[in-house]
A and B are shown apart, each in its own frame.
Chain A
């Protein structure tokens, strides 16, 4: 002990004023109680957060199941006042537009991710990454307005315009998820391929992309699920249609979401019931896609 620290005086008195750590007084009991109250609050919050999911899925199922039939899938929508009929034109339109959008956005998005991971040097990839993230937050109605102003005005509402809008919505999602997946490919795989004399593009197309394939599929499926549930973009680019449309251009196209939107807003019971059935169909599609995507990721992670 150094000479200028005062000697510990009055230890005995101090000990008398201090309490044992294990003694339970009103203060510590209070603290424990507040902590326990918090615990119950958090459990309550968890229950409240799960309720909407149960309520939405339950309501959609209860109201939609009765109307969802073979007829619903194979017949065109009736006037809202009449019963029967179905969402055939919407199903065809959704499959059509989401399909075309996927064909454009998935290769473009994966190649964009290839650039970010395999070629990107300097500040450009950081800029692209940042604005891709920002672009995932661009309101879908704005994307719709853009496609309307740039293209629809000069041509017409059509399947192709709807697909363009959806592709723009899907692109940033696919770029970012693909980038994640490509980063998970071990550098050794690339080095081995290059070492054996493969060129860079061969390494990417034959080693890197196949290795990342399950993850890339997951990202694409999540983007497809997002696109299938999109309404606002289509309202401004495909517009909606009462008939079955198979033309790519020149004719306004319908979708499941547009039919649900129209069905919910009109006053007749029959039309509303079909909207519930359409919502059930859409929800089933989206959940199955999401579920399969998860399954692929889980399996890829294990194997």
Chain B
């Protein structure tokens, strides 16, 4: 680099004064506007969607919009007129259950992988391994959807789901595993979501674990602790807040994921307790029905979008507050 700036400074001294004098305030102004653009867009997104969804909330009643599980699209073409029923509970439930499945599967796996990469793996393999896991984050969600719909769900998950129904007789939690099993179900969507959020949870967890104070680890080993004891009593304890933040970030991603879930969750407008029920989730329902929606249903779909947005914003803000002090997390998986 050293040659470049020197040459450029020479030309700078000879530039016309008029151009440089106003350069600073103008450039500053442009930069400030660009910086504010994110806030403006975010603000506009909230304002416009709430404005457009309001008639649907008003028609259905906000509380009812959340707790009613009857969703029947209306076919009115008159603007502002509502004829259907818009209770979004089925989709809220679908979003919660699929994301819960995703986190339950992805979190232990992510912690184990992060531990393996930071503690066990040979030093020269570490970068390659984390890069490999993070490459999962680069795969577009429509490819996950295609692979899940045409290969993974029918060939791999179907037999798994069929055999899991043996758990059905267990009291209480048995209801989660009741048949009949359908191939595109909460479970299929949840497992694919787990794969999708694995890289982000792993990346942040690994980063957090790498920041465990060296002295504490050495001290524990020096006292004769085994690998397991160092991991359990030092690393996991120190990294706990960061891992919670990473989980929240993954959860936010799972809640907002649209296309892969739309292809795998089933697409019905009802809900069921069983994990093998083909239901629908908030984001997925928008994608699944948007193209055929009449104006009144569109208003209600925007209402679903607002609910989705509020949930993800809360989860993300909590996550960011928790991960905040760890500083910037390297790697594109966290973006």
A171 B32 Cβ-Cβ under 8 A: no
| A263 CA to B213 CA, complexed, in Å | 51
Cβ contact within 8 Å between A45 and B142: no
Given the complex, which residues of B lie within 8 Å of A268, measured CB to CB?
none
Q: Which residue of A lies closest to B129 (CB)?
A: A46
Interface residues on A, range: 35 or more
- What is the bound-complex CA distance between A55 and B308, given in angstroms? 31
A146 at the interface (CB under 8 A from B): yes
Chain B nearest CB, measured from A258 CB (Å): 8
The reply to whether A261 and B263 contact each other, CB–CB distance below 8 Å, is yes
Q: Does A31 contact B (CB under 8 A)?
A: yes
Interface residues of B in 122-172 (CB under 8 A from A): 129, 131-133, 135-136, 138-147, 149-152
Known: A145-B301, A206-B5, A261-B142. A168 touches B283 (CB 8 A): no
A232/B35 in contact, CB under 8 A: no
- Cβ proximity bits A163-174 to B, threshold 8 Å, 1 near / 0 not: 000001001110
List of A residues within 8 angstroms of B259 by Cβ: 231-232, 235, 257, 261
B217 contacts chain A at the CB level, 8 A cutoff: no
Binds A, one of B55-63, B250-258, B270-278: B250-258
* Nearest CB on B from A302, distance (A): 13
B109 close to chain A: CB less than 8 A:
yes
Question: How far apart are B259's CB and chain A's nearest CB, in angstroms?
Answer: 4
Any B CB within 8 A of the CB of A56: yes
Contact of A59 (CB < 8 Å), options: B52, B119, B151, B302: B151
Cα–Cα distance between A228 and B258 once the two chains are bound (Å): 16
Contact residues, B1-20 vs A (CB, 8 A): 1, 4-5, 8-9, 12-13, 15, 20
Which of A46, A202, A293 is B12 in contact with, Cβ under 8 Å? Answer: A202
Report A-chain residues with C-beta under 8 Å of the C-beta of B97. Answer: none
Determine the chain A residues whose CB is within 8 A of the CB of B109 once the complex forms: 45, 48-49
Given A111-B30, A112-B31, A145-B49, is A38 in contact with B38 using a C-beta cutoff of 8 Å?
no
**Are the CB atoms of B20 and A287 closer together than 8 Å?**
no
Q: Name the segment of A6-14, A73-81, A242-250, A274-282 touching the other chain.
A: A274-282
Q: How far is the CA of A112 from the CA of B283 in the complex (A)?
A: 30
Chain B: CB-nearest residue to A107:
B34
Q: Which of A60-94 contact B (CB under 8 A)?
A: 60, 63
Instruction: Decide: A56 and B144 in contact? CB cutoff 8 A.
Output: yes
On whether A229 and B140 interact (CB within 8 A), knowing A143-B45, A261-B259, A279-B146, the answer reads yes
Q: Across the interface, which residues of B come within 8 angstroms of A140, CB to CB?
A: 256, 258
Q: Are A149 and B52 in contact (CB under 8 A)?
A: yes
Most B CB within 10 A of own CB, among A41, A116, A134, A197: A134
Q: A residues 131-178 with Cβ under 8 Å of B? A: 131-143, 145-146, 149-150, 168, 171-173, 175-177
Those of A14-56 within 8 Å (CB) of chain B: 21, 31-32, 34-35, 38-39, 41-43, 45-46, 48-50, 52-53, 55-56
Please name the residue on chain A nearest to B31 by beta carbon. Answer: A115
Beta-carbon nearest neighbor of B295 in chain A: A153
Can you give 15 A-B contacts (C-beta < 8 A)? A38-B227, A49-B198, A55-B152, A60-B143, A108-B37, A133-B320, A137-B312, A141-B308, A172-B38, A202-B15, A231-B141, A260-B142, A261-B142, A286-B139, A290-B135
State the B residues within 8 Å of A (CB): 1, 4-5, 8-9, 12-13, 15, 20, 23-24, 26-28, 30-32, 34-39, 41-42, 44-45, 48-49, 52, 108-110, 112-113, 115-117, 119-121, 129, 131-133, 135-136, 138-147, 149-152, 195, 198, 202, 224, 226-229, 231, 249, 252-253, 255-259, 263, 283, 286-287, 290-291, 301-302, 305, 308-309, 312-313, 315-317, 319-320, 328, 332, 335
Listed from nearest, the 10 A-B pairs whose CB atoms lie closest are A229-B140, A139-B256, A115-B35, A45-B112, A111-B34, A201-B27, A35-B226, A232-B258, A137-B316, A115-B31
Extra contacts, 14 of them, besides A53-B136, A231-B142 (Cβ < 8 A), are A31-B228, A48-B109, A53-B139, A112-B31, A116-B35, A119-B32, A139-B256, A142-B49, A172-B38, A197-B12, A201-B20, A229-B138, A229-B140, A276-B150
